[in-house]
Structure 1
């Protein structure tokens, strides 16, 4: 026990799940001081949220992890459905999906959550930062200059900001005093776990359903010998769910799969899951913020929880880094809640609807869980105060793209004629300015020099251009008329900040970031 205050003038992150780890990397790669702690004594090995959506793969490409995730997981796993023991069909809902120049990931990747966390920890270690396991934030006090957090062993940590990424039972959220509105439906529950099952094919996701609406699913987890087991629980005499066990998993499997001779073994995770639909009314109180499950918890359908948390962290990271460095106006952090709270509300509605659709789909022989595939996430923040009004003449078709939207990818050539994708260009942690046409080339160079700490600038198809849109994909993706001059300002989290032809608007936007007024 110690009462000493350890100074850490950066950011303290409570919780080292996918959200906290992504945030730590985003801060570290921008040079911000960061310390990340987690209450668990060691990393878990549970599959939990087992899928990364296409937009999350775009985010993690910027973070530096997508290639590793694709190597560890799989993007192609057909669904095999059985009804009352009989094989019905094999389907792949993404069989016709193809990557496009503006969207390189046409489908998500199946990968265990523990594997995602391992990859993120490895990436964080490349910045010299390790998770402090067995260390929990139990309380805090804050003032105008920072936060003093109290750890479970009595250590007092001084930080510029504290971010609670500590899950649905978040102690940081409880200490903040924010509401966590929503419901827990005790009548709807599921048992979930990781088990081995020798003799079952690992080439498909098995889904056995019965006419009473019950069933069991076994999903092979890539890179392991395990399957994720999902089913309705066994009930006691009073109708309450029995605690999960390997024995109950076996009984459920035998009842619905009707495949003799298969024994479930080696359980590494057994859990009872209840339908929780909750979100906070605020994601920030002063210098303390929330992200991921600490701010919103979802029904299991669609795997939206892990994806939403990673995207929370991606939105917050660059803003928090600028605030920590003193480069942002006091109101920039307000835009985190402004942008992400509506996304959380949307996701709660979508995941609740998906869960209901799954429950209905399993009752029909001709349909499957693939019928409840989630819609794409990460479309953008058109409502945000960071979404500057586009100059009408800046684009040939303003309906194609608007400020606040996700910035599309496109293949280009660099100054040496080598292939380069815009997503590779955007990997720099600063804002990116694309200047299309020779008419704006001089202004682009001047803006890049004047705002070097905040901006990287590229001319596209101008005299001595940095990038060449050799196939026209960039202009088409950004709605820019052929040969028309245009300036496209892209945020550090790869969303459109500004579309214009006027360099003054770009300079004014960047100045606004550094002087951003607080929310009234």
Structure 2
């Protein structure tokens, strides 16, 4: 007889990755514990850019309004060249569109992102256990038994290491972290106040290898000082003050956080070892260029959360293998992009500062992966595995498709009379995530359970010109596009991720 489980999932690490995963699992009704070896929540600004796709994740989790209230837009850069300060736009400011409601990166210091997610966990009745390290674990076919620094032994169904680049979980699992580190290349990162420096610019002094980004709703800047090779970093507050004054003639004060960064570019060989998973920096570490690390980690969690929920409910264990096959190629691609930007910065190229569509992560797709075969049907605009875009619609007072998607459920939309006719008869198990079904009509005043597409924009954005079923995963990606043989095609698709 197997041992009883104290929890469904034990998460090591309470940063944005671990906290987002825990929040997603809790709303699915799973039992979760989050432990952190740190004595308290992170206090610095470190990863401060929330990309558009991650904002969509935060909206689904119900905390985007808080993030927008505590963050702000990135200011224009101010390039200091001797006595001249040249304004320069690092990234294009895009207007919201019906399919992309949040097109621009959000400036939000990491400690605020953490705090927002921790409040969400508390709303679900869970608190992070600080000062509690994972010291050892052993696993068997039924679960994982972890030993904590408190002496407690915790029995869980799964263990997730979201414990950063020096991940203890990764090391204990024996998973190689492949890549390179350059310990001779160091950058000081400091949260502080700088008197007399305008807050309407992200100030950059290329010749001094120094920058200062104003943090929203505060008088602080995040200052980055890149050291010369061979220089020894000194985080003494007086030394930091002298360093900035010597480089750019400004004095800093009221330092609240300071750290040393060295560029690491590493990717774990596997995201899974039995019942143990890695997410975020535990699986991949990036250069800071392009604001990719935190965002990739949160989206790791968004991918893993619904799959753990489904498997705990009785879906095939093979669903958990798709976490690695979907996320590892994404991390590899993102690593390559952030490394390219950092190399350009290192060479003083202005291209190293430019940000574009790729960094926004809206175009990332799982098409061609195990849950999205390359030969699956497609619409005029979408393939299976692509991000499911937002669109205007009406349903019980709702005017946007993302509000319909919001929550831990799957969403099934039926376009055209034949698809609508079969919609109620498609089988779905009572266990695991709920399936919400919507017939899409073109008129106004439709009853609940239907979507009104009076403007035709929903069908246009989704590329629909005939009868079709569109199944959307809980993480907002297209799970199926079905245009014929409704019952058989639907059953074959959902078999991979629903309880038997």
Q: Would you say same fold, with TM above 0.5?
A: yes
Counterpart of 2:256 in structure 1 is 268
CA contact (8 A) 1:245 1:270 kept: no
Counterpart of 2:332 in structure 1 is 345
Judging changes above 3 Å, is the alpha-carbon distance between structure 1 residues 352 and 439 closer, same or farther for their aligned structure 2 residues? same
**What TM-score do the two structures reach when normalised by structure 2?**
0.93
Query: Deviation at 1:6?
Result: 9.2
Q: Secondary structure at the match of 2:411?
A: strand
Query: Deviation at 1:233?
Result: 2.1
> Partners of 2:376 and 2:416 in 1: how far apart?
17
Deviations 1:374-394 (A, max 9, x none): 6332521012111146665x6
Match of residue 224, structure 1, among 200, 212, 218: 218
Counterpart of 2:244 in structure 1 is 253
Query: Deviation at 1:450?
Result: 6.2
CA contact (8 A) 1:6 1:157 kept: no
Say whether residues 1:126 and 2:123 are aligned partners.
yes
> Partners of 2:476 and 2:155 in 1: how far apart?
32
Match of residue 424, structure 1, among 385, 403, 427: 403
Counterpart of 1:407 in structure 2 is 388
Match of residue 186, structure 1, among 183, 186, 191: 183
Counterpart of 1:278 in structure 2 is 266
Query: Deviation at 1:405?
Result: 0.5
Counterpart of 1:100 in structure 2 is 97
Query: Deviation at 1:439?
Result: 2.5
CA contact (8 A) 2:13 2:35 kept: yes
Deviations 1:48-85 (A, max 9, x none): 10110001101111111211111100024111111134
CA contact (8 A) 2:185 2:227 kept: no
**Which residues in structure 2 correspond to 1:362-511 (within 5 Å)?**
367=350, 370-372=353-355, 375-378=359-362, 379-388=364-373, 392=377, 395=379, 397=380, 400-414=381-395, 416=396, 418-447=397-426, 454-461=434-441, 466-481=450-465, 484-502=466-484, 503-504=486-487, 505-511=489-495
Judging changes above 3 Å, is the alpha-carbon distance between structure 1 residues 241 and 473 closer, same or farther for their aligned structure 2 residues? farther
Gaps of 5+ in 1: none
Judging changes above 3 Å, is the alpha-carbon distance between structure 1 residues 179 and 92 closer, same or farther for their aligned structure 2 residues? closer
**Which residues in structure 2 correspond to 1:199-210 (within 5 Å)?**
199-210=196-207
Query: Deviation at 1:512?
Result: 3.0
Q: Secondary structure at the match of 2:287?
A: coil
> Partners of 1:317 and 1:248 in 2: how far apart?
44
Deviations 1:389-434 (A, max 9, x none): 6665x63x2xx210011111101011x5x34211111113121100
> Partners of 2:453 and 2:237 in 1: how far apart?
57
Residue-pair matches, total: 489
Match of residue 24, structure 2, among 26, 32, 37: 26
CA contact (8 A) 2:15 2:42 kept: no
Query: Deviation at 1:358?
Result: 2.0
Deviations 1:101-145 (A, max 9, x none): 111111010010000000000111111011011111111000000
Gaps of 5+ in 2: none
> Partners of 1:311 and 1:329 in 2: how far apart?
22
> Partners of 1:377 and 1:370 in 2: how far apart?
17
> Partners of 1:126 and 1:438 in 2: how far apart?
42
Q: Secondary structure at the match of 1:313?
A: helix
**What TM-score do the two structures reach when normalised by structure 1?**
0.89
